[in-house]
Structure 1
């Protein structure tokens, strides 16, 4: 067994051993915070006792300091933040690289380093930053693996590949399953091509300079296909690039935020296709992964959203076969600890209002199924819980308008105490997010190792504050 695989086994085993006792905490639903007494039943005992003694503002300020690595106090909250942080992904030169370290690997693989290109229009600042960072590395990697075409899985608006085709002259194919999305993307790409010399700048030594010279606007093409584990990417490329149909085709498979099971499907396509020479994808939407989960144990809102065309989204590796995370845990993994801490962002008051509403529903209408989507955004229109309740009662047609005013007044009695608990519970639970993401991404890396692709890495591609799904998966055949 390769030493890299052996070490990764040990790393994953350590993370799972730490995480597994907290899966119930990760899979809880904040709607049931009060009805199921999450504060007393799910938090570690010593941590809960410490937080019970704390003032809300003081505990929150402590949390911000600890989350930034300023462990000035030795208490249960500090221990919790440190322990959870120790089980998150970190750039370590072994499995998780920085972008500079990836570029060094590309040079060792025989590739060239390309300059960054910034596109200043037709993208929001987040997308522009992601395209600027990722397109350079994809272009550099393509020189190392000698790819003839770049294929983007689930390309949506085509932002990444328009940069690859115009700035780096790579024949590029955006594949998406939605015709309306592709039609909109074609129009947007045509506009970008017409404005290219005005909106694109090459970055050298920290300075921007104009991009001179002509470009081939026909290098970026589109295909409408639903990608599964059995999709023949080479056939699609030959169809969309008929002028290359008799040439050898070597693909670089990429994707900027491959949603849900599209991420695992991309890895499986890379493994099964000898003509796919490299992979560089950024996954997202972990909650949409298919997983063999017992919904009665973990997730009260679990739905049958599986699709046999995809195969199982998690786990992918043989090592983790039979291990389950749960949909709420995977949804938690998509939350950004870094962004919350950077913005000092506390949960919305709607969490408390919805939990209070659930108490009323459980007491008066215990068998009523509630459609969560109908309540989305209503808290911003309400001054207090009374207004929230009346609006929810009307939207859900609960028939509880006859409840006496004193009943709702009683709900306010302990609201400050419950708000404190919800805020601190939210922050404590958030610390598990990056651990769960670590398990998901490490499982994918191990899948590549198990299939013989030891030139595979996780790469911290983006600033997690700007782009919370900041890790990519890179593999070279």
Structure 2
């Protein structure tokens, strides 16, 4: 689907946001020969992506009779905390066009207002995020709206409990909710309980017995306590 969307929009570059260990990035690179920039907050994930890409490259090279230049995902390690950060990372990665993958460490404190302006050195691209946790989906939406180089957006939101909210978060960046004028004007508030419930599958809970449901509640309670402890530390 990502390949079909990219080609329909004339884009040959895909930015995989929240790429994890690079499964989507590698499929798009090796199977569909798209230029892929894989952005993730974990340097370990970048290392795994690069190592696996080398193995896949050797596998494809062994199958080819003629020597062929394979596209390999480029990895960028960055904790995307705002749409400005994401825009800046995308801009830098697209302008620094290496043939082979390069693991890059960005300070991620930069902003890039010029990304919304015409820049012919930056290729047309697609933003993709198949596991865009919390505010990551929102930041992708903002970059899609503000950046003319981004021709399409493929985003699967998740981890809604991590979505920041205007009335509950003390942050210097724009909150993840609300973002529409309609929601802002209506003073719509979700709250943590509703955001936590959005992560739960009604079908899964419905299929559980009472005993199993209580056990699940215990597991969620311990996990929540552990997460709060990590945040405090």
Shorter-chain TM-score tier:
0.7 to 0.9
Cα drift, residue 351 of structure 1: 6.1
Q: Give the TM-score, by structure 2 length.
A: 0.72
The CA deviation string for residues 152-202 of structure 1, in whole angstroms up to 9 with x for no partner, is 11112111010001111101110112222211221122233334599xxxx
Match of 1:179 in 2: 43
Match of 1:337 in 2: 202
Q: For the structure 1 residues 339 and 188, does the alpha-carbon distance in structure 2 shift closer, same or farther, using more than 3 Å as the test?
A: farther
Question: Could you say which structure has the greater relative contact order, defined with CA pairs below 8 angstroms and 6 or more residues apart?
Answer: 1
In 1, the alpha carbon distance for the partners of 2:98 and 2:214 equals: 53
Cα drift, residue 331 of structure 1: 1.3
Asked if structure 2 preserves the Cα contact closer than 8 Å seen for 1:234 and 1:275, the reply is no
Map 1:78-89 onto structure 2 (within 5 A).
none
In 2, the alpha carbon distance for the partners of 1:319 and 1:248 equals: 34
Q: How many residues align?
A: 197
Does residue 239 of structure 1 match 2:103?
Answer: no
The CA deviation string for residues 241-293 of structure 1, in whole angstroms up to 9 with x for no partner, is 489x9755111110111111111000001111011111111111100011034
In 2, the alpha carbon distance for the partners of 1:174 and 1:288 equals: 22
Query: Tell me, what secondary structure is at the counterpart of 2:130?
Result: strand
Does residue 324 of structure 1 match 2:177?
Answer: no
Cα drift, residue 218 of structure 1: 3.6
Asked if structure 1 preserves the Cα contact closer than 8 Å seen for 2:131 and 2:156, the reply is yes
Match of 1:158 in 2: 22
Does residue 259 of structure 1 match 2:133?
Answer: yes
Q: For the structure 1 residues 269 and 348, does the alpha-carbon distance in structure 2 shift closer, same or farther, using more than 3 Å as the test?
A: same
In 2, the alpha carbon distance for the partners of 1:165 and 1:287 equals: 32
Query: Tell me, what secondary structure is at the counterpart of 1:313?
Result: coil
Cα drift, residue 348 of structure 1: 3.6
In 1, the alpha carbon distance for the partners of 2:27 and 2:21 equals: 12
| RMSD between superposed Cα atoms in Å | 3.2
* One of 150, 158, 164 as aligned partner of 1:276: 150
Structure 2 stretches of 5 or more lacking a match?
Answer: 101-118, 228-233
Cα drift, residue 352 of structure 1: 7.4
In 2, the alpha carbon distance for the partners of 1:329 and 1:318 equals: 21
Structure 1 stretches of 5 or more lacking a match?
Answer: 1-136, 199-209, 295-303, 355-370, 375-477
Q: Give the TM-score, by structure 1 length.
A: 0.37
Cα drift, residue 220 of structure 1: 1.5
Asked if structure 1 preserves the Cα contact closer than 8 Å seen for 2:95 and 2:122, the reply is no
Q: For the structure 1 residues 182 and 351, does the alpha-carbon distance in structure 2 shift closer, same or farther, using more than 3 Å as the test?
A: closer
Query: Tell me, what secondary structure is at the counterpart of 1:278?
Result: strand
Asked if structure 1 preserves the Cα contact closer than 8 Å seen for 2:3 and 2:28, the reply is yes
Asked if structure 1 preserves the Cα contact closer than 8 Å seen for 2:71 and 2:99, the reply is no
Does residue 192 of structure 1 match 2:60?
Answer: no
In 2, the alpha carbon distance for the partners of 1:248 and 1:353 equals: 50
The CA deviation string for residues 286-305 of structure 1, in whole angstroms up to 9 with x for no partner, is 000110346xxxxxxxxx5x
Query: Tell me, what secondary structure is at the counterpart of 1:320?
Result: helix
Query: Tell me, what secondary structure is at the counterpart of 2:33?
Result: coil
The CA deviation string for residues 28-73 of structure 1, in whole angstroms up to 9 with x for no partner, is xxxxxxxxxxxxxxxxxxxxxxxxxxxxxxxxxxxxxxxxxxxxxx
